[in-house]
Chain A
Amino acid sequence: MDQLDLARIQFASTSIYHFFFVPVTIGLAILVAILHTRWHRSGDPELRRLTRFFGTLMLISISVGAVTGLVQEFQFGMDWSAYSRFVGDVFGAPLAMEGLAAFFLESTFLGLWLFGWNVLPRGVHLFTAWMIPLGACLSALFIIAANSWMQNPRGYTINPDNGRAQLTDIGQVFSNPVFLWGYTHVLLVALIFGGAVLLSVSAWHVRRGNHAPLFRGTAKLGLFVLAVASVLQFPVGGRLGINETNYQPMKIAAAEANWTTCQPCSFSVIQIGGYNQDETPTKIIEIPHLLSILATGTWDGQVQGLSELNTQYNQQYGPGYYVPNVFVQYWSMRAMAYLAVLGFVMGIWGAILLWRRKFEKSRFFLWACTWLILTPFVMATAGWLLTESGRQPWIVQGLMLTSTGLSGSGSAAEVAISLGLVVVLYSTIGVIAAILMVRHARRGLLDEPASSPESTTTGPSVPSLTY
């Protein structure tokens, strides 16, 4: 493997890993703020315990998410310096805005919330609880805006003197349809993660009868959020498909392993083979017209094939092979879509059980809910593979190839050393974080200190020993 392959593996693996903790954080931050609000309204000390219980899971997630986010921020310059020089004028702006608008907000208010129990007035403390998800959501907003520019560059010109991209219209960057729908998609992903964590942990306790009334409430909340967000992903995913047809036709053609232009196009539910041009696939199940609907929003829409697109790109951009990895595209799209159906099915199942008042008694359902937590991680991985591997061989669609974005200095050996470091470090802290989260989750609600002073006295109180 050369420097390019290693740098790509490094970027892909660190991004996917980082994005395990990001949506858990955003999703839990929103749900913890909801629980905090409920406590604030009712004054019920049991709700306060629940808030802090799920808050601790959020904190562990944030700590790993924050330190791995730093790696993402630095990696553009370290491994992709040619890319950074080329796009910095456009791409740097949303990144700097992310730091100023989002990271400061999230981290500062996290400290205030965590250490603010019994220190801040209750209303102010509730305010700090909501600033955390606001910061986290803003952070995703800016980074998805930057990423969307790589998928569909707009609002720029190429400077004739240095050949670099130059920002001409920031409004175009933030009104990019790839961004608008991509960001909606990411927020729903975060809600799926948050809902799944809440449901998984709560179902585990309900099954064991620990604090059943409390955990039944959070199980219902988690299930509701998970199911609704899963359902909403389908129309949003549809919009993303149409975006791909408009701006990155290679991506959607690869996701369907669609080599020749078709009209109308059927959707391949499952097939074996057909991932290379000269391979005839065994299509096991097909749904007529569905691909036309997904890709174009019309019953009989035309979807271009990979071979035709490649010929067209050769004329447009010069000789080369512009087809992304079809196997990865085909299966990551399906992993995501089919697992989202599972989230929806669980929602229906839970609703039926609730209606028949058997929610707490159906041990199999509760068991399934606990293990359902694994699915968002698979979906998020698949989603990143679909969208970023599908962009290949471009680093910026139509403007710069990934191979030319690589740093002009460094060597394969150096990247290999850093990749080794990343693997060791990330696996270690990932395993530890997972163990700490599972351990905390299984232990359930902890007893509050006997004297739980809810005083909102003025003047500085003594900060508690929190860490």
Chain B
Amino acid sequence: MTLSIVWFVIVAFFWTGFFVLEGFDFGVGALHKLVGRTDVERRVAINTIGPVWDGNEVWLIVAGAAMFAAFPPWYATWFSALYLALWALLAALIIRGVSFEFRGKFDGTAWRSTWSWTLTIGSVLAPLLIGVGLGDLLVGLPIDADGNFTGTLLDILTPYGLWVGITVLALCLWHGATFLSIRSTGIVLKRSVSLKRSLSIPASLLVIGFGVWTYLVARPGVGGTIALAVPVLATLVAFALVRSEPGAGRAFAATAVAIGGTVAAVFANLYPAVLVSTTDDAYTLTVANSTASSYSLTVMTIVAAVLVPLVLAYQGWTYYVFRARVKGPATPPIAEQAPTG
């Protein structure tokens, strides 16, 4: 039972980490057409996340796989319930993922524009859809005694889920803008600074709304309330910081806490349930009734204890290696081959 709680925390940790890291990747992808008007400017924006986006996306895979291993019924019920929404998510992640590689491989205006659009659309749709799915965990789905979803596509699109989706999307955009403002230079930097300011208003309002709505849905105790207070406070801090020029790094840290805290708050308010059934409380999936066996969890705990610190170390090292701001080249490059020297 104790290990089940540990694994609930690990699953929440991977979803949180996914949004802290891939959150700004989504933001940069969605905003790159706005902060960059020319091809070189857009490439500067894309290249700020170039070395890291792929590794960041693995957090999503591991979050899903950790659910599969530690809470098989949770993974099975949630993924099959969200069926068409998840296929839309996969389509978004596919067109977005190949955009990075395909875009630069051919030098044509229409070609580059196409892959800029797929990058934008994929980067907007993905956090929105994942947010809806996370919100549904808390507000509940029609789940029967066998753990099967009995609703239709419309039942997935719960008002609360949509609010979480839009909130997460807004946070990704904002987080992306604060990231660009610490990693870019020149005109791209200037535009991202102005974007992070204008995005601060809708993002803050959405997070406050999320806090209130989640409180009403979950009726949390002290722990859940604190978990909700964290993203709201971080958002307010970030709201203040994006207006001060020298605090770019701190503003980025604040949006990181805001987006991570939002996702973590969903899980904190979900516990001890993992997927609420609106059909009957008795059908709600919980940490206790969905857990894998203690042997399996013990094996996985040992593996995670060894590998997670290692992964954090080398991913952290990547950010250290590529800490310099991305500059455009003095002369526009032909950019025919991906690795330009």
Interface residues of A (CB under 8 A from B): 52, 55-56, 59-60, 62-64, 66-71, 73-74, 76-79, 81-82, 84-85, 87-93, 95-101, 103-105, 107-112, 114-120, 159, 164, 166-168, 170, 407-410, 414, 417-418, 421, 425, 429, 432-433, 436, 439-440, 446, 448-449, 452-453, 460-467
Interface of B is mostly: helix
Q: How far is the CA of A191 from the CA of B104 in the complex (A)?
A: 28
A9–chain B nearest beta-carbon distance, Å: 15
Residues of B contacting A78 in the complex (Cβ-Cβ under 8 angstroms): 79-80, 82-83, 86-87
Size of the chain B interface, CB-CB below 8 angstroms:
87
B54 within 8 A of A: yes
Q: How far is the CA of A164 from the CA of B291 in the complex (A)?
A: 12
Q: Which of A81, A418, A439 is packed against the most chain B CB atoms within 10 Å?
A: A81
Q: Which of B58, B95, B106 is packed against the most chain A CB atoms within 10 Å?
A: B58
Interface residues of B (CB under 8 A from A): 40, 43-44, 46-47, 50-55, 57-58, 60-62, 64-66, 68-73, 75-84, 86-87, 90-91, 93-95, 97-98, 100-106, 146-150, 292-293, 295-296, 299-300, 303-304, 307-308, 311, 314-315, 318, 321-329, 333, 335-341
Q: Do A59 and B338 touch (CB < 8 A)?
A: yes
Q: Do A84 and B68 touch (CB < 8 A)?
A: yes
A169–chain B nearest beta-carbon distance, Å: 8
Q: Do B341 and A56 touch (CB < 8 A)?
A: no
Chain B residue with Cβ nearest A166: B293
When A77-B79, A117-B341, A167-B296 are in contact, do A465 and B307 touch as well, CB less than 8 Å?
A: no
When A77-B80, A96-B62, A466-B338 are in contact, do A104 and B87 touch as well, CB less than 8 Å?
A: no
8 Å CB contact of B94 from A87, A120, A425? A425
Q: How far is the CA of A81 from the CA of B82 in the complex (A)?
A: 12
Q: Do B303 and A421 touch (CB < 8 A)?
A: no
8 Å CB contact of B337 from A52, A67, A418, A452? A52
Residues of A contacting B321 in the complex (Cβ-Cβ under 8 angstroms): 112, 116, 119-120, 460
When A88-B73, A168-B295 are in contact, do A63 and B65 touch as well, CB less than 8 Å?
A: no
A436–chain B nearest beta-carbon distance, Å: 5
Interface of A is mostly: helix
Q: Do B58 and A88 touch (CB < 8 A)?
A: no
When A92-B68, A166-B295, A466-B339 are in contact, do A104 and B100 touch as well, CB less than 8 Å?
A: no
Residues of B contacting A417 in the complex (Cβ-Cβ under 8 angstroms): 84, 87
A219–chain B nearest beta-carbon distance, Å: 22
- Report the tally of A-B residue pairs with Cβ distances under 8 A: 288
8 Å CB contact of A63 from B61, B90, B101? B101
When A93-B300, A467-B100 are in contact, do A88 and B76 touch as well, CB less than 8 Å?
A: yes
Chain A residue with Cβ nearest B10: A96
Q: Do A67 and B79 touch (CB < 8 A)?
A: no
A-B contact pairs, 7 of them (CB 8 A): A67-B93, A93-B69, A95-B65, A119-B322, A410-B83, A418-B83, A418-B87
Q: How far is the CA of A101 from the CA of B295 in the complex (A)?
A: 20
Q: Do A88 and B68 touch (CB < 8 A)?
A: yes
Q: Do B52 and A465 touch (CB < 8 A)?
A: no
Residues of B contacting A67 in the complex (Cβ-Cβ under 8 angstroms): 93-94, 97-98
Q: How far is the CA of A365 from the CA of B183 in the complex (A)?
A: 52
When A97-B303, A117-B339, A463-B322 are in contact, do A107 and B64 touch as well, CB less than 8 Å?
A: no
8 Å CB contact of B105 from A79, A436, A446, A462? A436
Q: Do A409 and B72 touch (CB < 8 A)?
A: no
Given contact pairs A73-B64, A88-B69, A460-B323, enumerate 17 new A-B contacts (beta carbons under 8 Å): A85-B77, A88-B68, A90-B296, A92-B68, A100-B62, A105-B311, A107-B55, A108-B54, A110-B54, A119-B321, A167-B293, A407-B148, A409-B149, A410-B149, A425-B94, A465-B329, A466-B340
